[in-house]
A and B are shown apart, each in its own frame.
Chain A
Amino acid sequence: MENIAKLIAWKFGNDRTRLMDMLIEIQETEGYISKANARELAGLLGTSQADIEQTISFYHFLSMKPRGRYSIYLNNSVVAEMFGRKAIRETFEKAAGISFGEVTPDGLIGLFDTACIGMSDQEPAAIINNKVFTRLTPFRAKEIIRYIREGRSLNELVHEGFGDGKNQDPRLRAMVSSNIRRKGMVLSDNYHYGKVLREKLPTMSPEAVIAEVKHSHLRGRGGAGFPTGFKWEFCRRAKGPKHFVVCNADEGEPGTFKDRVILTEKPELVFEGMVVAGYAIGSDQGILYLRYEYRYMKDYLEGVLQNMRNEGLLGRNICGIEGFDFDIRIQYGAGAYVCGEESALLESLEGKRGEPRDKPPFPVEKGYLELPTIINNVETFATVVRIIENGGEWFTQFGTEDSTGTKILSISGDCMFPGVYEVNWGFNVNDMLDMVGAYDVQAVQVGGPSGTLIGPDEFYRTLGYSDLSTGGSMIIFGKQRDLLREVVLNFMEFFIDESCGSCSTCRNMPQVMRNKLHKILDGKGVKKDLDDLREWGKLLLASRCGLGQTAGNPIISSLKNFPHLYERLLQRDKTFDEGFDLEASVKAANAYVGRKAVFHHHEH
């Protein structure tokens, strides 16, 4: 066989920065990346084999061991668990005759866990060879395994038909549902494809575009809320031979799926927003960094981009603006939550492990390939188009003073109508629960695991950057849920899995905290343990990026708002219980080296 590493490396110009593309293609073709291929790639790209292997090991969907001709990745997010993941998992294991993390002896089927795949409104869900299967039941799990064994094709595994809206597009044909349940300015049907680029952009200078965005007070929709106009202005002013526009579509925060819906239903709007940004900051290159979980959209999105090129909305001298060239390519991740952090995303874009960079310098000065780069969320780019279309002033009439415009929420969990809702900022939680049909609510997780867990006495609070800030993930928990065991533990395991490992605080502290939570759940906890947990939450702030700094939030936030859940488990009669037994802990080593335990009781 022709050497696949060589072919694929050649396809991407033997360019080290395109390593992600190469690894993904080898993984998809071969089902894994062999040591021989890793060595071959290292030689071709002028780097070390260790460098290639450390990159592979960083991403969940890349592997140096075969993952099976059919690799089943079953989501293990909290909402999947709430809607019956355990039964699906057991059925898959029984039907395939293997445990999760294994491949059948004939190499046909592999079973793997994976973090939130952005389908929280239709769980339990799994990805099989880049095809998404939603609303799984034990019956379907059994059937899928049987069909695979019968040799049916991937498409033949589908019985459900296709989802709503654009999911039926011939290039998409996904069983995923968009579940748009409330539209505002961004999701509005009143969108005229290409109008802003053709009619507005040629009449405005780049500075005028930035001024309009600044006037709108638009803030980043990814969660951090940095003012978009300022970001663009800093980047425009930064010196560099080339500037880049990057769209962050790595929504990995469990419970978030609105970017998936925007990219399905309004991809042109997002790409137009990127063109506007390119014009504003003086860039000719846009990159959509799309999480690998959304790989099923590849042909569809490529098709949309090609249409835009055909219609002169991408390419050279766009819409007659002399000298304004801009094109967009799609870069896929390979499964890593931390790559949603913008500097980790840049590392990944450059074909490396997605470890966050030390800041400053910020990406607007030194971003992709060390050149000035803006990174904005999918929703931010989509929103920008409406601002340029209608003016910054118009935009400020929506929302509140410090949070203008609308927010697209991903709402999931215990409610009648999970899905995507676009609301004005300033919406309060009570209204939100009424809107989605949620009754007997015990708690709401606002902003995903890194956000806040609030109870009914805080449901009067409003969504906005000054109160409940959120990138859009809202998970509702009914009275029947065990918050500590079902929710907090799940979130802590998520952070433990997703730490890049660069800072010791984030690499270790979530495990230490999780262990402490286990101790409390086992009835061994004392009050001092709660004090320790609160202290340790602060230590995490020493981490380099937002993931590390918020990795203790599931515990810290539930301890703050639901202290009774912890306190009722504590031992009342002890102030300290280490649960440590010196004699027991030396037993194994002593037995192995052949000695008896002798305890000196020296006074030190």
Chain B
Amino acid sequence: MSKPVIATTSLAGCFGCHMSILDIDERILQLIELVEFNKSPVDDIKTFTKPVDIGIIEGGCCNSENVEVLRSFRKNCKILISLGECAIMGGLPAMRNGIPVEECIEEAYVNGPTVQLNKERILPNDDELPMLLDRVYPCHEIVKIDYFLPGCPPRADLIWEALVALITGNPLKLPYEVVKFD
């Protein structure tokens, strides 16, 4: 039997969840024995080259590009996992959700205390740039998500246990110590 294929991506996240994946330390050697990585920042493969079994999503969706990437993950992966606070609930980026998007743009590019050189009020509107969404969406509000792994970031042990359970087909055990927020 061929190895299960994994893809990962970071949308509106901080890459902390990916750091936590790396935190499985030397078990990453074991992981490579167990699975094959496809599109992922871990191996720097930029596009899907074959059907993927497990897609791991860090971060929610704050712009049109996030939505497109997430949809392409749904199309190419059998199973999708929302990994961490932002993917599941919007997280820190969703702090802007109570504020009109116009105010956010104004604060970021015109009025913010660190903005000094934008007297002409240039707002980013190049066609090459992703378009900002009205709010930050958790992934399950855009596509169907099969599993949710909590944490900010989720502990390395939690990621490891979940992957091993998925690959081996064993039930996932998540003791309080592993999922505990702090």
Contacts and interface: CB of A to CB of B under 8 A. Distances in A.
Given A578-B144, A592-B105, A593-B124, 8 more contacts: A504-B91, A508-B90, A509-B88, A512-B90, A586-B64, A588-B100, A589-B132, A593-B132
Contacts of A584: 134
B59 interface: no
A542 B131 contact: no
Contacts of B73: 604
A604 B125 contact: no
A536 B179 CA distance: 13
Contact of A585 (B125, B133, B179): B133
A167 B64 CA distance: 62
B72 A539 contact: no
Contacts of B151: 542
Interface in B109-139: 123-127, 131-135, 137-138
A600 interface: yes
Interface string B21-34: 00000000000000
Contacts of B147: 535
Nearest to B132: A589
5 contacts: A508-B94, A509-B89, A542-B180, A578-B141, A604-B69
Interface string A543-584: 110001000000000000000000000000001101110101
A585 B133 CA distance: 5
B148 interface: yes
Contacts of A548: 181
A232 B123 CA distance: 64
Given A580-B141, A587-B134, A588-B101, A542 B179 contact: yes
A503 interface: yes
A582 B64 CA distance: 7
Contact of A576 (B39, B94, B144): B144
A95 interface: no
B85 A600 contact: no
Given A586-B133, A604-B68, A504 B105 contact: no
Interface residues of B, number: 49
A588 B64 contact: no
Interface string A477-515: 000000000000000000000000011110011011000
A582 to B, nearest CB: 6
Interface residues of A, number: 45
Interface of B: 39, 46-48, 64, 67-69, 72-73, 85, 88-91, 94, 100-102, 105, 123-127, 131-135, 137-138, 140-145, 147-148, 150-152, 174, 176, 179-182
A495 to B, nearest CB: 14
Contacts of B140: 532, 578
B128 to A, nearest CB: 9
A358 B182 contact: yes
A534 to B, nearest CB: 11
A603 B47 contact: yes
Contact of A508 (B72, B85, B132, B182): B85
Contact of A602 (B68, B137, B152): B68
A584 B142 CA distance: 13
Contacts, number: 122
Main secondary structure of the interface of A (DSSP, over half): helix
A561 to B, nearest CB: 23
A535 to B, nearest CB: 6
Q: Which of B73, B133, B176 has the most A CB atoms < 10 Å from its CB? A: B133
Contacts of A508: 85, 89-91, 94
Contacts of B105: 589, 592-593
A358 B180 CA distance: 10
A599 B137 contact: no
Contacts of A589: 101-102, 105, 131-134
B181 A503 contact: yes
Interface of A: 358, 502-505, 508-509, 511-512, 528, 532, 535-536, 538-539, 541-544, 548, 575-576, 578-580, 582, 584-590, 592-595, 597-604
Of all A-B residue pairs in the complex, the 5 with the closest CB atoms, nearest first, are: A589-B132, A595-B125, A508-B89, A604-B72, A593-B123
Nearest to A511: B89
A589 B89 CA distance: 22
B142 A599 contact: no
B143 A578 contact: yes
A588 B144 contact: no
A580 B68 CA distance: 13
Contacts of B125: 590, 593-595
Contacts of B152: 504
A541 B141 contact: no
A593 B129 CA distance: 12
A508 B73 CA distance: 25
B148 A586 contact: no
Nearest to B86: A504
B181 A604 contact: no
Given A585-B133, A587-B134, A590-B131, A505 B141 contact: no
A528 B144 contact: yes
B142 A580 contact: yes
Nearest to B69: A604
A575 B151 CA distance: 28
Contacts of B88: 509, 512, 536, 539
Given A580-B141, A595-B125, A504 B85 contact: yes
A542 B181 CA distance: 5
Given A604-B47, A604-B69, A588 B134 contact: yes
